[in-house]
Amino acid sequence: MLAGVTSPDLLRTLETYYDAAPRPAATAEDVGPFTLFVKTEPSGWPFYARPRLGLDVPVTAVDVKQMRDRQRALGVPEALEWVHQTTPSLLDAARADGLQVAECPLLVLPTELSGAVGAPAVMVPDRSVRVEVLAPDSPDLAASVGAVGAGFDGTDEYEPHDPGARVGQMSAGLLVTVAAYDERGTVVGGGSHSPRGDTTELTGIAVLPRARRRGIGAAITHALVEDARRRGLRTVFLSAQDDSVARVYERVGFVRIGTACIAEAPGA
C-alpha cells in the first residue's frame, strides 16, 4: 500500500463525493446523524441513508432505528451505506438493530499509478473484442444495461433493458457508460462511472459468464479510467464485491484503502 493513501484528506474527498453523488436525482433529508436520499424519478436508483457529511459523533442503535422508522414511513428501502474508517461506530450499531451488513473492499487508483492500468490490447488478447464509451442515444445502451445485469446474475441470457434515468444522467455529464463487444459485435458486458467535481466512482462493471477470463473486465475498467483521466478527474475509486474481486482490481493498479459497508434489512 502506498504511504499516505489512507490519509484523512482522501477519506474526506470520498465522503464529499458520497454526499454529492445522489443529489441530482434525489431529495435529501437529515434524520438524526444521517442524511436520507430518496429518488425523485420512479425509474431512478432507490438510494439509501448515509452518515451526515462532517459527522463527528458516534452513531448508536437508537439512531439507526430512528432512520429505519423514517424509511418505512416513506416506503423506501431500509438501507444504509458508509465507509467504516470514517464512521466506525455504525457497524455495531447497524448490526445491533438487526441489519445485515456487507463489508466491501474500498479501492482507489492513485494518481501516480494511473498508467498502471494496462492497454486493452494487453488485457484482451483477442483484438476483435472492443470497449466503447456510449452516447446517451446509443442503440446499444439498453443492451449494455441488460448484459451488466445478466453478468451480475451469472447468466449468459439477457434482454435489452430500459436504461430509464441513465439517459438523462449521461446527457448531463453525471454518468459515463461503456459497452464491451465480442468478436461478433454482441454486447457482452459494460460498466460506468459517475463524475462529481474532480472525483468519480466506477460502478456496475460486469461481463457475461461466457466472455470471462479474456481480460474484458479489466479492459472495461481501463476504458472507464481513461475516460475519467480525459475529463481531468483526479480521484478514481470503486467498491469491490469481495476480496477475490478486489484482487482483480489490485492487479490493474488499484490500492485498497478501507471498507465500504452496505446494510439492509433481512430479506431485502
Distance CA 65, CA 81 (A): 15
The DSSP code sequence of 18-57 is: HHHTTGGGEEEEEETTEEEEEESSTTS----EEEPTT--S
Are 188 and 211 in contact by the 8 Å Cβ rule? The answer is yes
* 64 and 124 fall within a common domain: no
pLDDT bracket for residue 6 (50, 70, 90): low
Q: What's the pLDDT tens digit per position in 181-223?
A: 998 999 999 999 999 999 999 999 999 999 998 889 989 999 9
- Write down the pLDDT at residue 206: 96
Q: What's the pLDDT tens digit per position in 104-147?
A: 999 999 874 444 444 333 343 456 679 999 999 999 999 999 99
* 53 and 150 fall within a common domain: no
* 223 and 104 fall within a common domain: no
Across the chain, mean pLDDT equals: 91
* 126 and 48 fall within a common domain: no
Q: Could you identify the residue written with the cell 438523462? A: 168
- Write down the pLDDT at residue 85: 96
Last residue of a domain, one of 75, 108, 141: 108
- Write down the pLDDT at residue 45: 87
Which domain covers residue 79, as residue numbers?
A: 8-108
Last residue of a domain, one of 74, 108, 142: 108
In a domain, 194, yes or no: yes
Single-letter amino acid code for the residue at 200: T
Cα separation values, 237 from 11, 26, 173, Å: 11, 22, 18
* 62 and 169 fall within a common domain: no
What is the CATH classification number for the domain harbouring 19?
3.40.630.30
* 99 and 137 fall within a common domain: no
Cβ atoms < 10 Å from Cβ of 176? 21
Last residue of a domain, one of 61, 78, 108: 108
In a domain, 51, yes or no: yes
Number of domains in the chain: 2
pTM of the model: 0.89
* 86 and 167 fall within a common domain: no
* 55 and 132 fall within a common domain: no
Distance CA 43, CA 208 (A): 24
* 86 and 149 fall within a common domain: no
- Write down the pLDDT at residue 5: 46
* 193 and 159 fall within a common domain: yes
Q: What's the pLDDT tens digit per position in 49-71?
A: 999 999 999 999 999 999 999 99
Q: What cell does 231 get?
A: 475529463
- Write down the pLDDT at residue 4: 40
pLDDT bracket for residue 241 (50, 70, 90): very high
Instruction: Walk across the sheet containing 49-51 and list its strands.
Output: 26-31, 34-39, 49-51, 79-83, 255-264, 100-109, 235-239, 199-207, 187-196, 176-181, 130-133
